[in-house]
Amino acid sequence: MTEKCHGGKYRRRISVYGAPGRKCPGEYHTAVHRLSERYHNMIHRRSMIKSLAYSTAGSLLAKHSRLLASGTDQRPTKNIKNPLIDGPGMSDPHVLVENDVCYVFSGHDVGFGNSEWVMPDWRIHRSTDLRSWKHVGTILPKDNYMGKGSTDCWAGDIVKRHNKYFWFFSNRDKSIGVMMASKPEGPYADALGKPLVTSYDPTVFTDDDNTPYLIWGTETYKIARLKDSLLELDEEPREIAINRTSHFPFLDKNALHKHRGLYYLSCSGYYATSKNIYGPYETQGRVGEGWGLETGWAHGEFFVWEGNWYHIWCKYRDRSYDKIRDCFIAPVSYDEKGLMHEDLSQLDDKYR
């Protein structure tokens, strides 16, 4: 920048930073002060414009984030306690969410040092934050056809229908029965007095049109529509076809959920998808690695809580020694192709 000196004898150049070129002793300090003031005013205006732009963008981003959350595609930021409870033996978890209260229905491992599963009952825990869990109910085999003293309380599933709560349970690998209660905590009573299906590991799924289905079995999964009462099959069972283009276990219980019109059939940490509930399903890989997800027996399911998706599953402490498990929860997100991705950052490596 140049300015005329006193009397116009010569000109001088001053940079935008106030650094002088040729000096005019009478006006140097005045010019520097003027330019410095102009510079700082310019910076202030730019800062104000930038601040306003960031503020507007931030508002739009926040709005977009809320829209993502409502679409259940955003990874939640809540802190989660893992394992869910301090004591050992929580297994085969399934979730019921009601009024933002999360209920976990699980098996109860007590066979310490035993190579077989010893499971005398089912437990119900409740949480409003996924950090603190309270034991609020126990379902006993003496209250169904299994009978008092049974230790064969294998995996089940919970569903609400007609303001009643239905607990579908396994009598070891022999049969599936149904119990019913008027509130999530129970007490639960046998609704049939006999098995519904001669198999085990049930999943109950209610589709968007309120049609209920029962899926069961291992190795080969079967599916059948249920009647409105949930106490009878409404069709002949069909075998679910799975196109195994990648690994998908044959060992453990299934789970079924739906996201944006796509059905997700899962087993352990692996899953397959289909546009038809009856299949065929195409394998898609695994949601994560470690914490038992790569095994064939990380029994669990996927659920929505407070507008976000989560995965709950169980992991053996040392399956070669005994059958004692713990349960874990992690957030899940879906990409534009519908593939699931699990955020395992909140899990301690010592349980890996």
Same domain assignment for residues 10 and 119: no
Same domain assignment for residues 101 and 227: yes
Same domain assignment for residues 39 and 101: no
Same domain assignment for residues 42 and 92: no
Same domain assignment for residues 51 and 169: no
Same domain assignment for residues 50 and 89: no
In a domain, 217, yes or no: yes
pLDDT bin (cut points 50, 70, 90) of residue 319 is: very high
- pLDDT of 351 above 90: no
Tell me if 124 sits within 8 A of 186, measured CB to CB: yes
Same domain assignment for residues 127 and 50: no
Q: Which of 335, 343, 346, 315 is nearest to 88 (CA)?
A: 315
Average pLDDT over residues 337-350: 91
What is the CA angle 35-41-47, rounded to 5? 135
Same domain assignment for residues 191 and 338: yes
- Helix residue ranges per DSSP H, the chain: 28-70
Same domain assignment for residues 278 and 155: yes
Structure-block tokens of residue 218:
């291992």
CA quadruple 89, 94, 99, 100: dihedral positive or negative? positive
Q: Which of 189, 192, 180, 238 is nearest to 213 (CA)?
A: 238
Strand order in the sheet with 254-259: 242-243, 281-286, 270-274, 262-267, 254-259
Instruction: Provide the pairing of β-strand 134-139 with 153-161.
Output: unpaired
Q: Which of 241, 247, 323, 235 is nearest to 284 (CA)?
A: 247
Tell me if 91 sits within 8 A of 322, measured CB to CB: no
Average pLDDT over residues 273-280: 98
Same domain assignment for residues 34 and 115: no
What does DSSP assign to residue 68?
Answer: H
Q: Which of 275, 169, 260 is nearest to 216 (CA)?
A: 169
Q: What is the pLDDT of residues 35-84, one digit of tens each?
A: 444 444 443 444 333 333 333 333 333 323 323 333 445 555 578 999 99
In a domain, 63, yes or no: no
In a domain, 74, yes or no: no
- The residue count of the chain comes to 352
The CATH number of residue 305's host domain is: 2.115.10.20
Cα–Cα dist 311/300, whole Å: 7
What does DSSP assign to residue 350?
Answer: G
The number of C-alpha atoms within 13 Å of 9 and in the hemisphere containing its C-beta is 8
What is the domain range of residue 304?
A: 80-351
**What value does the mean pLDDT of the chain take?**
84
Distances (CA, A) of 349 to 1, 84, 344, 346: 62, 15, 10, 9
Same domain assignment for residues 234 and 309: yes
Q: What is the pLDDT of residues 203-256, one digit of tens each?
A: 999 999 999 999 999 889 999 999 999 999 999 999 999 999 999 998 789 999
Distances (CA, A) of 178 to 14, 203, 214, 225, 237: 88, 12, 12, 15, 18
Cα–Cα dist 255/239, whole Å: 15
% of the chain at pLDDT higher than 70: 78
**What is the pLDDT at residue 74?**
52
- pLDDT of 168 above 60: yes
CA quadruple 235, 248, 94, 114: dihedral positive or negative? positive
In a domain, 64, yes or no: no
Q: How would you label 125-136 residue by residue, b for 16+ Cβ within 10 Å and e otherwise?
A: bbbeebeebeee
- pLDDT of 343 above 50: yes
Q: How would you label 228-266 residue by residue, b for 16+ Cβ within 10 Å and e otherwise?
A: eebeeeeeebeebebeeeeebbeebbbbbbebeeebbbb
Q: What is the pLDDT of residues 83-120, one digit of tens each?
A: 999 999 999 999 999 999 999 999 999 999 999 999 99
Structurally, the chain folds into a number of domains equal to 2
Please give the model's pTM, rounded to 2 decimal places: 0.79
Same domain assignment for residues 23 and 94: no
With a CB cutoff of 8 Å and minimum separation 6, the contacts of 66 are none
In a domain, 208, yes or no: yes
Tell me if 190 sits within 8 A of 144, measured CB to CB: yes
Give 22 or 242, the one with higher predicted confidence: 242
In a domain, 66, yes or no: no
Residue type, 147: G
Structure-block tokens of residue 124:
């119900």
